[in-house]
């Protein structure tokens, strides 16, 4: 079988599933337990796409050991899964888009800042893992978004050059990571309005959900 020459790389949280409000709620509840009130909008802007341990150190201090951070991460993510579990479903149009992409020979990958437990919760909970040639998470790279590591590793595992990959994202830090990886990006406005992405020159399309997207048009837009 010929190696795929094109790939779609999907962020998971806020992109495959519309769950970022639940992540934010769980973070706010986590910090509220510790007597700290945070602004939800500012917190999302500063953290979406970052790994859990990066967020912990950002808000709780660089003194945190790796072990202490891991314990706190586990508490927060368990709270998130409890809140979001009853609502777990894909964003409209996702299942049809990936079916069409696979039929067209497009390699599919997930590149997320999520820990493995959340990847299992989402991808296996929705029986999606079988569709992806690569699944890259927080445990696979040292740095979260806006660093490009997670997208570059996904492309490498798919055997597709970065310039032939299109990233699907819902957060500015993720779009910036795609830009640094040399990849074009499709923005879903599940979490933020289109205006939040106006500064990025690698955005080729903005959509409410996957049902608005046309694969041929996306790859045509990728080529200047």
Please check whether residues 71 and 96 belong to one and the same domain.
Answer: no
Distance (Å) of CA 46 to CA 41, 95, 131: 9, 30, 31
> Domains in the chain: how many in total?
2
In a domain, 126, yes or no: yes
Please check whether residues 14 and 26 belong to one and the same domain.
Answer: no
Q: Which helix (H) or strand (E) holds 153?
A: helix 149-158
Please check whether residues 123 and 12 belong to one and the same domain.
Answer: yes
- At 172 the pLDDT is 94
Please check whether residues 119 and 80 belong to one and the same domain.
Answer: no
- Tell me 123's DSSP state: I
Q: By residue range, what is the domain housing residue 100?
A: 7-18+89-222
Please check whether residues 81 and 168 belong to one and the same domain.
Answer: no
What angle in degrees, to the nearest 10, is found between the helix axes of 94-103 and 215-222?
A: 70
Please check whether residues 95 and 150 belong to one and the same domain.
Answer: yes
- At 2 the pLDDT is 46
β pairing state of 184-188 and 165-169 = parallel
Please check whether residues 35 and 133 belong to one and the same domain.
Answer: no
In a domain, 205, yes or no: yes
pLDDT, tens digit, 9 for 90 and up, residues 20-60 = 999 999 999 999 999 999 998 888 888 887 888 889 988 99
Please check whether residues 158 and 93 belong to one and the same domain.
Answer: yes
Last residue of a domain, one of 45, 66, 86: 86
Phi, psi of 107, rounded to the nearest 5 degrees: -70, 145
- At 10 the pLDDT is 98
The CATH number that applies at residue 122 is 3.40.50.1000
Phi, psi of 63, rounded to the nearest 5 degrees: -75, -15
pLDDT, tens digit, 9 for 90 and up, residues 177-222 = 999 999 999 999 999 999 999 999 999 999 999 999 999 999 998 5
Structure tokens at 3: 């190696």
Please check whether residues 55 and 105 belong to one and the same domain.
Answer: no
In a domain, 1, yes or no: no
Last residue of a domain, one of 62, 86, 110: 86
In a domain, 27, yes or no: yes
Contact 188, 14 (CB under 8 A): yes
| Catalytic sites, residue numbers | 11, 13
Q: What's the predicted TM-score (pTM) here? A: 0.88
Q: Report cis status (omega within 30 of 0) of the bond before 158.
A: no
* Backbone dihedral region for residue 105 (phi beyond 0: left; psi -120 to 50: alpha; all else: beta): left
């Amino acid at each position: 079988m010929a190696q795929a020459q094109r790939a779609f790389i999907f962020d998971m949280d806020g992109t495959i599933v519309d769950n970022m409000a639940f992540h934010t709620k769980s973070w706010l509840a986590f910090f509220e337990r510790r007597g700290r009130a945070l602004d939800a909008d500012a917190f999302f802007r500063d953290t979406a796409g970052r790994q859990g341990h990066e967020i912990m150190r950002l808000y709780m201090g660089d003194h945190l050991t790796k072990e202490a951070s891991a314990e706190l991460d586990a508490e927060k993510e368990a709270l998130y899964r409890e809140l979001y579990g009853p609502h777990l479903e894909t964003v409209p149009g996702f299942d049809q888009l990936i079916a069409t992409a696979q039929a067209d020979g497009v390699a599919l990958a997930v590149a997320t800042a999520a820990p493995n437990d959340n990847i299992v919760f989402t991808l296996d909970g929705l029986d999606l893992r079988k569709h992806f040639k690569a699944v890259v998470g927080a445990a696979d790279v040292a740095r979260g978004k806006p660093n490009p590591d997670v997208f570059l590793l996904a492309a490498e595992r798919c055997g597709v050059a970065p310039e032939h990959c299109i990233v699907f994202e819902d957060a500015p830090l993720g779009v910036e990571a795609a830009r640094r990886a040399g990849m074009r990006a499709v923005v879903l406005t599940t979490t933020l309005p289109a205006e939040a992405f106006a500064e990025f020159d690698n955005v080729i399309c903005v959509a409410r959900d996957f049902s608005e997207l046309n694969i041929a048009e996306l790859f045509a837009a990728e080529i200047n």
